[in-house]
Every structure is written in C-alpha cells, then in structure tokens.
Amino acid sequence: MEVILRDKIREAVKVLYNSDVSDELIQVQETKKDFRGDFTLVVFPLLRFSKNTPEKTGESIGEYLIKNFEAISKFNVIKGFLNLEVSGSWWLDYFINTASADDLIDKCRVPVPGTILVEYSSPNTNKPLHLGHIRNNLLGFSIYRILASCGHNVIKTNIVNDRGIHICKSMLAWQKFGNGETPETSRMKGDHLVGKYYVLFEKECKVQIESLLNSGMEENDARNSAPMMKEAREMLLKWEAGDREVVDLWKKMNSWVYAGFDETYNKLGVDFDKIYYESETYKHGKKIVQDALNKNILYQKEDTSIWADMTDEGLDQKLLLRSDGTAVYMTQDLGTAVDRYNEYRFDRNIYVVGNEQNYHFHVLKALLKKMGYQWSDGLFHFSYGMVELPEGKMKSREGIVVDADDLISEMIETAREVSLELGKLADFTPEEKNEIFRKIGLGALKYFILKVDPKKNMTFNPTESIDFNGNTGPFIQYTYARIKSVFRKAEQSEINENLSLLQGMHPGEKEIGLIRIFSKFPEAMTAAAEGYSPALVANYCYELAREYNQFYHDFSILGETEERVRNLRLAISRVTGEILFKGMWMLGIEMPERM
C-alpha cells in the first residue's frame, strides 16, 4: 500500500503544483495510534512546491487523493501531518487477492537472487557448545532461512577450529591425567569429556604460573615459561610437522567432539551444507601468505615471521606466520575465504561472529583486498552482541559456562512443569506430551534469543522465556494451536471457508486491523533480510499473535450466524495461522498443532 500511495502523492504534487518530487521528499509512515488514520504524509518537505502553509498543503493533497484514489476514504490534517484513512473495501480486496502467507512471501522475492554463504557456529574442538554458541547458531540458521525465503541461493557453512594451541591443551591434559578415559568409559558426551581436560589444563597451568610469579617472574614471562604451556607449544609444532602419535591422538579426540557437536546441533534443529576445517584451510592460507610475500605485498622480519603492513588502511602491523612457521587465525581465515570463493563464486559471504572480533574481520577484508582479491568486497561480518545469564558473564577457561545441552534439557523440563501446572494436556499420550514439551521448551529458548536486536548484548532468563503470556515463543505457539483447534472444530461441524462470499462485504475494525498487519509481513521479511535481523520477524509474529488473540476474545468465529462474516473470520484465522507458521519457521521454531 505504501508504494501505491507514494506514487499517488507524487501524482498529486505534479498535478497540483506542476512539480516533480523525488522519493526522499515523500515521507509516508504508519499513523501513530493516538491519531485517526492508517498512513501519515509528512507535509513539510513539500512546502517548497506548494508555496503554502502546511495545513493548506495537506488539505489540497488530501482532497486530491479522495477524488483520484478510491482506496482513500477520509483524511485529516494536524499541523504538518496529513493522516489518511484507507477504505475497508480496499483492505478487503487486498485480502482476497493475497489470501495466503505464500502470496505475501512472494512479494519479498528478489528480482536478481544472489549466492550467499552464511557461516555460523565456528566451534573449537576443545570444549562443548555453550549459551554463546546457541545465539550464534540460532542467528545464523535464521538468517539463512530468511534470505532463502526471499529467493537467494544460500549455502550454510561452518568452520571448525580444530587446530592450534588450545586444542593441544586438551590433548596434553588427557595424555597426562586421562588414564585412557573415553566417552564410553566415562559415560560423558565426547565434547564434554574433551572440555573437561581443557579446564584441567588451565587449572594445572595456573598452579605452575603462580609458582613462577612467587619466584619473582613477570606475569607474561611466567605464563610462557610454565612447563605445561611449553609442552603444549611443543605438541603444536609436532602436530604441524605431522608427528604420527600426536596426529593420531588429535584425530581420536576430535572424533569424540564431532559426535558430541552433532548431537547438540540435532537438538537445536540446525545443520550445514558445507563444513570447513581449519586443519585443512590453514595450509592454503600459508601458501597464500608465502605467495604474497614473494610479490612484496607482505614483509618478513629477521626472526623469519611474516607480517602485513596495514597502516595505509588505518590499521596496524598484522602477524600472519610466526617465526617457527606456525599459522595464526588470520592465516586460516585467508585460506578459508579463498577456498569458499573458488568453490561457490559467492556474491556475499556473511560471517556470523560476535562483536569482539570486529577488528579481526576488518583486517581480513582489507588484507584480501591488498592481496588483489576484488571479491573481498562481498565479505560481511555480521557482528552480534554477547549473551549472558542474570548471574553474569561466562568464562570457558574456568569452566564457568552455560552448557548448551544442559540448557536445552532445562528448557524442556521447565516447559513440562509449566504445561502440567496449567493442566492443558490431560488427554495426551506420554509420547505426545514429550514432543509438545520439546517444541515449547526449544521454542521458548529460540524466540527469547532471536526477538532481541542482534547487535545488542542480552541477558537470557530461562524463567521469563517460558511464559505463556507476553512476547514469548510459547505465547505465539499457543496462538497457532488455538487456530488449529478452530479449524478442527469447523471440520467436525462441516463448516467450510468460501472466499467467494467475501466480495462486497464491509469488514469491521478488528478484521481490518488484522488485514493491515498481514500487509506488513512482506515489509518485515524484506527488512529482516536486508538488515540480517531475525528480531524483525520475531516481533512481527508477536504483534500478529497479540492482535489475533484480542480478536478471538472479542468476537465469535464458528458461532457467528451470519455466513459471510463467519467466512471472513475463518479466512482471517487461516491466514494468521499460515503467517505465524511461516514466520516462526524462519526462526527455526516448530509449531505444535495442539497445546
């Protein structure tokens, strides 16, 4: 509607004032709830053409629209704002012509789809996934579904950090203290078991560092001189040299971790089209660095370490290969980016990584450009805020983290307790109940995280997220289940929806209100795709669910005796359910048909 309205306003200015007006001067927005109207035109930018007062200009344009645009039924002018009311008949025609969620989604299809890679998860193989990883995975997977729904060719990728000093820490601690422990003998998930030894390494190393500090050594020197740290660095050198014993241990412990990761990904309902491993891409990265050095794009210090001088780009000197020949994070990121482009020729490569890595990705993009890779313009760091619990920040090295598996189990159990307390599932089988508890628990978790602007830091509160009222996943899920219940009852009563009966009706204010919200679905989707913000879809779904529940409370649907009115309310209920299902699907949330 806004697009059509802008064209008509442009036409009005041309006819009334013999002037062509640019798009940025036609400022149309939704009318504020305190005023009567559907859309509001800000008149002030048009005064240069009318040469008149804001009130007179607004009245002239309003009268023109009434006469020449059948959709506008009334208008009022308040100072420099022209408030326009759209007729109920126009809204009804709009609804009849786009009476499904698929029709609305089709309005979001981009004319020229692009190939977009979305990288998310990016775990380390020295610890299990935690709450921070959950936000990362949920954001990445939802961005994929939103972009794909708009018609783009989207490839879901993951880069696993399976090499480096932190991996060697877990391996070394297991060698020293593990006594051959395995996931089977310990009855622990593999990623949890390996994470246990990462924490143990830090604990033992901390004791050694404190001893050196007490002997008078400086803190940085003590950290580097601790025997455990020295052994870990030696193990890393052996790994890069291909030492068979070290590599075999690395493969074994990584296999434990991958099995654990897959179990967690399955619980979260996320997956990947392609998984890259740093243990492979860093090799290409080292070659890229060496080639750039040979072309004098990079420089080498006396200790043989290789650096990039990024001062011309307003950045610093960046280490790319250490003096011992081992690679850094940037090295493997160079290799990964080039490998991906060679494989997919992407238009965009979106890195879903927390905001603590802003500088890293700034350097990566500039460095690739310096090396001559023009496609690096397509790299985009989707920088999101950190997630914490009410108790504060998590610390992986100290083992103070919110484990992803534990949190998922806790959410499902909380859903069980709340649902049983409400007493809504008395006639369900145990299997049906468990499936509903799973959907509610995960729906609460996903929605609570995704409804927040990704750029903001957030505090996750499990208790608040599971509430069946307010802006929560269970509230929207319950609204959907309520709609499905309406249609089950309609089927039992042999009441069928018939759109042909809607022509010529005069819908009520509540029906029009819901149709107006339907019309905003393409706008919410488009904005979410362009801004990579699942929060826009999440909060749209809440707005629709809230308005429908008020409608459901105020009006009878199946009990309405006037057949045409009943048909309209059924059709509105159906489209509401379809949009909620599609919108929540984009967030990775399953919708129970009964609750």
pLDDT at position 427 is 82
pLDDT at position 501 is 84
Q: Higher confidence at residue 423 or residue 474?
A: 474
556: CB partners within 8 A, 6+ apart: none
Q: For residue 506, name the pLDDT band (cuts at 50, 70, 90).
A: confident
Q: For residue 489, name the pLDDT band (cuts at 50, 70, 90).
A: very high
pLDDT at position 84 is 96
Tokens of 550: 């008020």
pLDDT at position 387 is 87
Q: For residue 396, name the pLDDT band (cuts at 50, 70, 90).
A: very low
Give the dihedral sign, CA 44/50/55/58: negative
Q: For residue 355, name the pLDDT band (cuts at 50, 70, 90).
A: very high
Task: Count CB-CB contacts under 10 A for residue 434.
Answer: 13
Tokens of 184: 């089977």
Lowest-confidence region among 37-51, 278-292, 380-394:
380-394
The DSSP-derived string for 538-555 is HHHHHHHHHHHHHHHHHS
Percent of the chain at pLDDT exceeding 90:
83
Task: Inform me whether the pLDDT recorded for 537 exceeds 80.
Answer: yes
Task: Inform me whether the pLDDT recorded for 394 exceeds 90.
Answer: no
pLDDT at position 388 is 80
Find out whether 45 and 39 touch, Cβ atoms under 8 Å. Answer: no
Quote the CA–CA distance of 426 and 252 in Å, as a whole number.
47
> Partners of 317 in the beta sheet?
309
Quote the CA–CA distance of 350 and 117 in Å, as a whole number.
6
Find out whether 64 and 16 touch, Cβ atoms under 8 Å. Answer: yes
The DSSP-derived string for 467-518 is -SSSSSHHHHHHHHHHHHHHHHHHHHTT----GGGGTT----HHHHHHHHHH
**The Cα angle at residue 405 between residues 583 and 461, in degrees rounded to 5:** 60
**Residue 312: strand, helix, or coil:** helix
What's the rounded mean pLDDT across residues 549-560? 95
Percent of the chain at pLDDT exceeding 70:
98
pLDDT at position 448 is 95
Model pLDDT for residues 87-123, shown as the tens digit of each residue: 999 999 999 988 788 888 888 888 889 999 999 999 9
Quote the CA–CA distance of 350 and 116 in Å, as a whole number.
7
Cα of first residue to Cα of last residue in the chain, in angstroms, is 36
Query: SS3 for 291-303, per residue?
Result: HHHHCCCCEECCC
Q: Higher confidence at residue 334 or residue 460?
A: 334
C-alpha distances in angstroms, 282 versus 101, 243, 276, 355? 45, 17, 11, 23
Tell how far CA 336 is from the center of its chain: 22
The DSSP-derived string for 224-260 is HH-HHHHHHHHHHHHHHTT-HHHHHHHHHHHHHHHHH
Task: Inform me whether the pLDDT recorded for 399 exceeds 60.
Answer: no
Task: Inform me whether the pLDDT recorded for 256 exceeds 50.
Answer: yes
Q: Quote the DSSP letter at residue 165.
A: H
Q: For residue 400, name the pLDDT band (cuts at 50, 70, 90).
A: low
pLDDT at position 500 is 83
Going from N- to C-terminal start, the domains of the chain cover 2-86, 120-398, 404-586
CATH T-level topology, domain 120-398: Rossmann fold (3.40.50)
What's the rounded mean pLDDT across residues 450-477? 90
pLDDT at position 332 is 94
Q: For residue 391, name the pLDDT band (cuts at 50, 70, 90).
A: low
pLDDT at position 395 is 45
Model pLDDT for residues 150-198, shown as the tens digit of each residue: 999 999 999 999 988 999 999 999 999 999 999 999 999 999 999 999 9
pLDDT at position 504 is 83
The CATH number of domain 2-86 is 3.90.470.20: no
Mean pLDDT across the chain: 93
What top-level class would CATH report for the domain 404-586? mainly alpha
What's the rounded mean pLDDT across residues 300-324? 94
Model pLDDT for residues 574-585, shown as the tens digit of each residue: 999 999 999 999
pLDDT at position 393 is 46
Tokens of 578: 């379809």
Task: Inform me whether the pLDDT recorded for 36 exceeds 50.
Answer: yes
Strands 387-388 and 274-277: unpaired
Task: Inform me whether the pLDDT recorded for 458 exceeds 60.
Answer: yes
**Residue 130: strand, helix, or coil:** strand
pLDDT at position 460 is 86
Which alpha helices (DSSP H) does 241-379 contain, by range?
244-268, 278-294, 329-344, 358-370
What φ, ψ does residue 349 adopt, rounded to 5°?
-125, 110
